[in-house]
Amino acid sequence: MNPSLENLWEISRPLWRPLSWVYGMAVRLRRRAYERGWLARRHPGVFSLVVGNLSLGGEGKTPVTLALAEWLWALGRRPVVILRGYGGRGRGPLVVSEGGGSRVSPEVSGDEAQLYAQRLSGVPVVVGRDRLAASELACRRFRPGVLLFDDAFQHLRLSADLYLLVVSAARDPFSEPLFPAGRLREPPGAACRASAILLTRTEDYPERAEALFRRFSEMGLPVFSVTLEPGPLVGRFPQGLFPVSGLRPRRVVAFCGVGDPESFRRALGARGFEVLHLESFPDHYSYRPRDLKRLYRKAQELSAEALLTTEKDLVKIPPVAGPLPLLALSLLTRLPRAFLRWLEEQLPPAEG
């Protein structure tokens, strides 16, 4: 949401409570239909790992999925990333990357699929609103060892082997209302479907992180703390996203279209940038040339040295010649050793 819509939504949240009750009832009925076998579930036939969350965004799911894909590839497990392709025109299933960069435009694939395609070397990326159909395409084309599903925790028709639920300590899901009065897609009790909980933003909210660790542990779930930290500045090149050298701007104008824009502001501050202005766009926003021209004008008015955004935003920005560098602050994910040991124990034996 942009700031004005966010403020309006915050003010009007109590008015949405009746719709939240209706929505919650529909969510519970749907889940019960799958649990009782009234609606069929299906396994893709290859070891499947789902990364998801309970909220509408901003938990850190994308950087966690990227890190898992890289780790699985390093293990020689032949992962394929499968996601819905939110914001893209393609209904799928569609191969976005064969492991060597994107084959389609961001308008077709969506921004998150484009980020995976440009960041992951050797890891194919497939999108499809029907995740099972996308998995069938992935199995035919790539003979994967692991299917890694991004944001499929609520895709109940899919029966996977492992479910990792990413939860940010920035908010307490046990006190957050359901959509549309709040950000929750499901009641927090749905976490019992998870195989493990990955807590992010724990260093920013230590007290809440400790409380969440205790609540999820009481549900009998393994809980691991995952660190997200700002990485190097990257630029967009024909071959993908790569770190840039020789550019060390300090005074910047920043912008983003993500679920938690304040986390981006904190990351910039942690890296020592002086943020002269931060503009927030709706999540998955499709940038237009006039947006970039306006941001460049703002940066020049404030004597900024660069425009900074997120990797997820940079991959879908149209080429617009500007007077200042346009860069992204990468995000590094530190997966704890205890979690990686636990995860490796869950994986099937490696092939010969």
pLDDT tens digits for 269-288? 888 999 999 998 887 788 88
**How high is the pLDDT of residue 57?**
75
Q: What does the alpha-carbon distance between residue 117 and residue 82 come to, in Å, rounded to a whole number?
A: 11
Q: Residue 206 class from Cβ within 10 Å (0-12 exposed, 13-18 middle, 19+ buried)?
A: exposed
60 annotated to a ligand binding site? yes
Cβ-proximal residues to 27 (8 Å cutoff; 6+ apart), any chain: 178, 185, 186, 187
What was the pLDDT predicted at 3?
47
Q: Which of 177, 258, 259, 184 is nearest to 12 (CA)?
A: 177
Has 62 been labeled as part of a binding site? yes
Question: Is position 76 annotated in a ligand binding site?
Answer: no
Residue 177: closest CA among 338, 27, 2: 27
**pLDDT number for residue 101:** 84
Among residues 227, 44, 60, the alpha carbon closest in space to that of 148 is found at 44
Q: Which domains does the chain have, with CATH numbers?
A: 3-78+145-226+335-346 (3.40.50), 230-331 (3.40.50)
Q: pLDDT by residue (tens digit) across 136-180? A: 999 999 999 999 999 999 999 999 999 999 999 988 999 988 988
* Structure confidence at residue 2 (pLDDT): 45
Q: How far is CA 62 from CA 88, 146, 164, 215, 263, in A?
A: 17, 17, 12, 24, 14
- Residue 116 and residue 139 in contact, taking contact as beta carbons nearer than 8 Å: no
Is there a binding annotation on residue 56? Answer: yes
Q: What percent of the chain has pLDDT over 70?
A: 93
Helical ranges in 171-260 per DSSP H: 206-218
88 known member of a binding site: no
Question: 220: phi > 0 → left, psi -120 to 50 → alpha, else beta; which?
Answer: left
**293 marked as binding residue:** no
Q: Which of 307, 315, 331 is nearest to 240 (CA)?
A: 315
Q: Residues, the chain, total?
A: 352
Residue 8's pLDDT is what? 58
Average pLDDT for runs of 10 along the chain of length 352:
52 77 92 93 96 88 94 96 81 88 84 89 94 96 96 94 96 90 90 96 93 96 93 80 83 88 86 92 84 93 94 82 88 94 93 64
309 labelled ligand-binding: no
